[in-house]
Amino acid sequence: MDQAGVLRDMKGIDRNVYSMSLRNRQKKHNKDVRVIAITSGKGGVGKTNIAANFAYIFSKMGERVLLLDADTGLANIDVILGITPKYSLFHVLHGEKTLSEATVQGPGGIKILPAASGIQEMAELSRDQKLTLLKELDGLTESLDFMFIDTAAGIAENVMYFNMVAEEIIVVVSPEPTSLTDAYALIKLLYQDYAAKRFMLLVNMVTGPNEAKEVYGRLNNATDHFLNISIEYLGYIFCDKTVHEAVKQQTMLVKLFPHSRASKCLFKVAERLCQERPEDYESGTTKL
């Protein structure tokens, strides 16, 4: 890899994050792909935008990345990225295309598996469809370093399934009380019914670190008291007007505004994800 050339092409992408990845790459190629679900109890907390920007950051660091749009009934990864895919997860689950054939190339070299939108039957996958998807994903992960799964919001069965396909779960919340209430419901269901034990919390749309820590403390106190589990604090992302501008332009925030406050937060969280890999993480149970 021409490291100097890559750094020149990154145009503002945090060099510290990139350097961290280079140091880790020699150690991790013999290990399995890291499958990370980005999920939320409530919609509108910025989950999809975060998943897309993470995928872009890691891809620009030289990692082989797949971004899976797992909002199977109301897909919007393609809208955020300004792409028009010919095929989607719908064609894969109906046996018309393989997962590789439905995957498209996105910004920064990301591989994207788009979902369908406005197809009611996709809102709840059948057992056979879940088995088909697991088989297809198993065949693809050998060529990947990271898979980011952008789940739908809420506690529907599809949301549970895609969270349990992952080995790491990032729960995105905002300071709104309804966001915390819905996040607690999601964590409770994943823990009690699916035996998930590890959750990382990312607080979005905050005015500063103090507000983020307060939000984390409120949710962690609830899960600790009522569920007897502690959630990990992953970090926070500033409320930033550049986020809305990037969405309107259908361009990655970290590409369009790499020096914005929100982008810097995304780089910092990405660096932490690079540093922390759960080697002995015991995942929960995937129900078909």
Nearest to 97 by CA among 83, 77, 113, 81: 113
Q: Which two tokens mark 139?
A: 């065949």
Q: Which two tokens mark 75?
A: 């897909």
pLDDT at 225: 97
Return the bridge partners of 104, or none: 112
Q: How many Å from the N-terminal Cα to the C-terminal Cα in the chain?
A: 41
Cα 72 from Cα 77, distance rounded (Å): 11
Q: What is the domain partition of the chain in residue ranges?
A: 34-275
Q: Helix 15-28 crosses helix 47-60 at what angle (to 10 degrees)? A: 70
Q: What's this model's pTM, rounded to 2 decimal places?
A: 0.87
Residue 33's Cα: distance from chain center in Å?
A: 14
Give residue-wise pLDDT tens across range 69-82: 988 767 688 888 88
Cα 67 from Cα 150, distance rounded (Å): 7
CATH numeric code, 34-275? 3.40.50.300
Whether pLDDT at 12 is above 80: no
Place of tokens 């990655």: 252
Cα 279 from Cα 276, distance rounded (Å): 9
Give residue-wise pLDDT tens across range 55-102: 999 999 999 999 999 887 676 888 888 888 898 888 888 888 888 899
Give residue-wise pLDDT tens across range 204-259: 999 999 999 999 999 999 999 999 999 999 999 999 999 999 999 999 999 999 99
